[in-house]
Amino acid sequence: MGFLGSLNQERIVFAIAVAIFVIAALTLPGFFTADNLVAIVRSVSVLGILALGMAVIVIGRGIDLSMVAVMAMSVAWYLQMLGNGMSDGAALGLALAGVVVIGFANGFLVAYAEVPAIFVTLASASFVYGLVRSQLIGSDAVPVPPGHWVAELGALRLADVPVEVFVFAGLALAAFVFLRFTKWGRYVYYAGDNPAAARNVGMPVRPMLVLRYVLSSLVAFAAGILTAGSLQSMNTRVVNSTQLYDIVLVTVIGGIGLAGGKGGVRNVLIGAALIGIMLNAMTILDIPLLYQNLIKSAILLAAIIFDGVLNPRDEQTAQQGDI
Partner 1 sequence: MPSRERLQALRYNLIPDHLIGEILTKRWTDNAIPFLVLVAVIALFGTAIPGFFNPFSLQESTRQLGEFAIVVIGLTVVMLGGGIDLSVGSIFALATFASVGSFFILGLPVWVAFLAALATGALFGAINGYLVGFLRLRAFLTTLVTFIIGRAVFDILVVQFGAAIQMSFASSDAWDFIGDGTLAGLSVPVIAAGLLALVTHVTLTRARIGWHILAVGGSRRSAHNAGIKVRRTVFLTYVFSGLCSGAAGFLIACRLSGAGPGTGAGLEILALTAAVVGGNALGGGRGSVVKGLMGAVIVLVMTNGLIRLGYGTGTNQMVLGIMLAVAVTIDIRWLKNRHKVLNEVYVAPVYLKMGETQSAEPQSGTPFALNSRLAAAESIGLGALEGPEDVILDADDHLYCGTRHGEIVRFFAPDYTRSEVFAHVGGFPLGLAFDRDGNLISCVGAMGLYKIAPDRTVTRLSAETRRSLTSVQDDARLRDPNDLDIAPDGRIYFTDSTKRYDAHDWTLDSIENRGTGRLLVYDPRDGSTKTLLDGYRYTNGVCMAHDGKSLYFAESWACRIHRYWLEGPKAGTAECVIKDMPGYTDNINRASDGTYWMAWLGMRTPSFDLSLRHPAMRKRMTRRLPQDDWLFPNINTGGIVKFDDSGRILQTFGDLTGENHPMVTSMREHKGELFIGGILNNRIGRYRIEGADPEWTGMRAYWGTRA
Which H/E stretch holds residue 251? Answer: helix 243-253
User: Are 214 and 124 contacting, i.e. CB atoms less than 8 angstroms apart?
Assistant: no
For residue 3, the minimal CB distance to partner 1 (Å) is 26
User: Among residues 41, 248, 274, 281, which is the contact residue for partner 1, using CB under 8 A?
Assistant: 248
Q: Which of 5, 29, 30, 321 binds partner 1 (CB under 8 A)?
A: 321
Q: Does 316 bind partner 1 (CB under 8 A)?
A: yes
Q: How far is CA 286 from the centre of its chain?
A: 26
Question: By CB neighbour count within 10 A (0-12 exposed, 13-18 middle, 19+ buried), where does 27 fall?
Answer: exposed
Nearest to 131 by CA among 60, 177, 72: 72
State whether residue 258 is helix, strand or coil.
Answer: coil
- Strands (E) across the chain are located at 141-143, 157-158, 161-162, 233-235
Binding-site member from 51, 76, 82, 132 for partner 1 (CB under 8 A): 132
**Which of these ranges, 77-85, 86-94, 201-209, 240-248, lies near partner 1 under the rule CB under 8 A?**
240-248
Considering the rule CB under 8 A, would residue 20 count as an interface residue with partner 1? no
If the CB atoms of residues 163 and 238 are measured against partner 1, the closer one turns out to be: 238
Q: Is residue 158 near partner 1 by the rule CB under 8 A?
A: no
User: Under the criterion CB under 8 A, does residue 184 sit at the interface with partner 1?
Assistant: no
Residues 60-79 that bind partner 1 (CB under 8 A): 63
Nearer to partner 1, 44 or 128 (CB): 128
86 lies in the site for partner 1, by CB under 8 A: no
Residue 30 backbone zone (phi > 0: left; psi -120 to 50: alpha; other: beta):
left
Contact criterion met (CB below 8 Å) for 82 and 71: no
Query: How far apart (Å, rounded) are the C-alpha atoms in residues 93 and 91?
Result: 5
Nearest partner of 59 among 203, 216, 166, judged by Cα: 216
User: What is the end-to-end Cα distance of the chain in Å, rounded?
Assistant: 33
φ, ψ for residue 245, nearest 5 deg: -75, -25
In eight-state DSSP terms, residue 232 is: S
| CB nearer partner 1, residue 67 or residue 248 | 248
Of the candidates 242, 243, 284, 287, which one interacts with partner 1 according to CB under 8 A? 242
The answer to whether residue 94 forms part of the interface with partner 1 (CB under 8 A) is no
Residue 163 or 303 with smaller CB distance to partner 1: 303
Q: What distance in Å separates the CA atoms of residue 295 and residue 85, rounded to the nearest whole number?
A: 44
Binding region for partner 1 (CB under 8 A) out of 88-96, 132-140, 188-196, 272-280: 132-140
Shortest Cβ distance from residue 312 to partner 1 (Å)?
7
Check binding of 286 to partner 1 (CB under 8 A). no
Which listed residue (116, 145, 185, 204) binds partner 1 by CB under 8 A?
A: 116
287: part of which helix (H) or strand (E)?
none
- Min. distance of Cβ 302 from partner 1 in angstroms? 10
Please report, as ranges, the residues that interact with partner 1 according to CB under 8 A: 63, 109, 113-116, 118-120, 122-135, 242, 245, 248, 258, 290-291, 293-294, 297-298, 300-301, 304-305, 308-309, 312-316, 318, 320-323
